[in-house]
Each structure stands twice: as structure tokens, then as C-alpha cells.
A = this chain, B = another copy of it.
Amino acid sequence: MSSNFQPKPEHKFTFGLWTVGNRGRDPFGEAVRETLTPVNAVKLLAEVGAYGVNFHDNDLVPIDASASERDGIVNEFRKTCDDNNIKVPMATVNLFYDAVFRDGAFTANDSKVRSYAVQKTMRAMDLGAEFGAETFVLWGGREGVETDACRRVDDAIKRFREALNYLCEYNISQGHGYKFALEAKPNEPRADIYFATTAAYLAFIETLDHKTMVGVNPEVAHETMPGLNMMHAVAQAWEAGKLFHIDLNDQVPGRYDQDLRFGSANPKGAFWLVKFLEDVGYSGSRHFDAHAYRTEDYDGVKDFARGCMRTYLILKDKADRWNNHEEIKDILSEIEATNAKRPFGSFDALLADDFDRAALASKGLKYERLDQLTMDILFGVD
């Protein structure tokens, strides 16, 4: 049966350079794995069966590289990608690691920092375009505060909008053809990050000059940290035509950003998410933004990467099983039977209507049974 869960290009499984290349450094401990060069990361991804690789500008090109160093790196990396049939569907920019961003990037109080952040993003867009990246993700990891004394939030929003509008113009001017995907997170590394949820970005996008060019990149861990339902966020984005990318990993609510192997903490949530993506026909990358435990060497990193893809495919299989399960279909039919086409009609007609509340509330809805059948499928016993 396991043989069914092998990744193939059509599954569009991608990993960031920073994911398999994560060295296991954390706030209380130093790195445990040697540096994995971008070239070796691509080879590792090819070995485990991934479709593509994504990167921040500085995952590939050091922040202080000269132009010629940059070109050398780019050429070698492109060749490796080509040789290994690894695509680059998405690129992004690191606006959080360097000390210059300690107070934010697009929202920093220092206007020079904001300009530098925009410049750095433009260059990262150019870099990604060289690899044919079609999606450009923006995660504003430092756009936030430890104390709200330092700036007005509405000012920060205006600054963020100004940067985005400018970058959209740059995108047009260069013919890069990017879709921007904004990625939200409520906290960490800052106490409160602006645009704390995917929905906050969905609302913000509507205020941009080029709103069709901008969508969202929901991440399981980031929505789950505050205990929100990831699939609900994804569904709202999808329904609004804004699901431009997705970051898959796992997380327990109310904790530091764990970036666990996909499906390994909350398999039921992962199931609903995979089912939604497959049911609606989401065709973008399935990007795993996660990393291996600190107990692992690079063999363990491969185990981690394989596990992410395998679990996705297992859950995709189960979603299909769910959709074709006889008893589930029967219950859904019963539900649908109460959902008779019934337009609200004229105001007068609706106001005159007579509803029997007790009758409407009398029949059990069989949701416990429906959910237990879901668990049975998840457990593989039905």
C-alpha cells in the first residue's frame, strides 16, 4: 500500500532552501547540523522526490555578496536545478534576519530602513525572476512591536501599503508577472506582528492599487499558533480568489513557532486541509515550510521531507475515500434534503412566513456519527 504514496511532479511538492537547510539552531541552542549548501539542498530535494525549491534572496546569495559572486552562485544553482529537474515556483525576500530590520522593514520608523527594505525586495524579485518564479511571498516577520508606544498602527498600515503599491508597480514595469502572496503570523519574533492573520491581509489587499496582483500565503503553523482553524482561513482566501500559495507544516496551538513535519501534530486538521485543497482543485505548489527535529542528521532531514509528502498523499487518499464512503454519502444526502432551494423572496413574504422552531430543532443531525466515520477513515479502519 505504501507504494501508492510516492511523490510525483504533478503533486507540486516544494520545499524552501531554509527548510531542509535548517541547521537546528534555536533560542536556547546552537546549530546541530553542518551547513547544507543550496546546491546540495537541491540534490537532496531531488533525491527525496520533490518538485521544486523556493528561497529567500539570502538563502541563495549572501547579503554581502558582490555582483560577480552573485552571478557565480546563480549560475551554479540554476544548473543544479536544471540537472535535477527541480523547479523554482516561488521566491521571497529576507526582511527579518539582519539587524537593520530590528524595528521592521516596510513599517520601520526610519525611512531609510523602509527604502532599503523595498530595494532589497526589488532585487529579490529580480533574482526570483531569473529562475522563473511566478509567486513572490512576503512575510513581514519584523513588521510589528514589542511596545505600542513606538508608532501608531494606522501609520504602519499606510507604510506597508505604500511599499506594496510601489512593488506592484515595479512588478509591472519589469514584466516579472509575479503574483504576490502575503504571509501572516501573529507573534514571534516580535511580541505582536501587524496583520496577525491571513484574514488581516485579505482585508488589507482590498485597499491596494493593484489588488488582483496580491493574494495570501496561509501557513498552518502561523494560523494555528493562536488556535485558529487553518482550513477556515484557507477557505475564505479561496472563496475570495486569493489563495496564491500555501505553507504546509504543523503546530500545537499556543506555542512558539514549531514548523513540525506536516500532519504530525494535528492529523485531523491536516486531513480537512488536504481535503479542501483537493476538493476545490487548488493547483498551486504544496510548499512545506517546516524543518527536521534537532535530533536529526541529514538522513533524518530526508526522513522528515519524505514524511511531509507521504502524509499529504495518505490524506489525499483518505479524502477520496471520504467522498466515496456510502454511509457518509447517505448522511450528506439527508443534510442536503433539508437544504431545499428556498430563496428568501420578497420582504413581505418572508415576514409573513411561519416557522415551527420546535420542529426545526427536533431532529438529530448525525454529526457525531459523521465525525466518527471521519476518524475511522483517518485511522484506516473503514
Contacts and interface: CB of A to CB of B under 8 A. Distances in A.
Given A148-B272, A256-B187, A368 B300 contact: yes
Interface string A102-142: 11000001111111101100110000000000000000011
B367 A147 contact: yes
A37 interface: no
B110 A338 contact: yes
Contacts of A101: 29
Given A29-B97, A102-B29, A344-B118, A149 B370 contact: yes
Contacts of A92: none
A197 to B, nearest CB: 6
Nearest to A315: B379
Interface stretch (A6-14, A68-76, A80-88, A351-359): A351-359
A299 interface: yes
A344 B227 contact: no
A202 interface: yes
Contact of A335 (B150, B162, B296): B150
Contacts of A196: 197, 199, 228-229, 232-233
A278 interface: no
A49 interface: no
A375 B264 contact: yes
Interface in A345-366: 347, 350-351, 353, 355, 357-358, 360-366
This protein's copies in its complex: 4
Contacts of A111: 338-342
A115 B354 CA distance: 10
Interface residues of A, number: 156
A118 B227 contact: no
A317 to B, nearest CB: 8
A243 to B, nearest CB: 11
Interface string A261-272: 101111110001
A210 interface: no
23 contacts: A27-B27, A28-B142, A29-B102, A102-B295, A116-B357, A116-B360, A119-B350, A147-B367, A152-B279, A188-B256, A196-B197, A196-B232, A200-B202, A200-B236, A203-B206, A254-B254, A264-B375, A295-B364, A295-B365, A299-B364, A307-B375, A314-B379, A380-B380
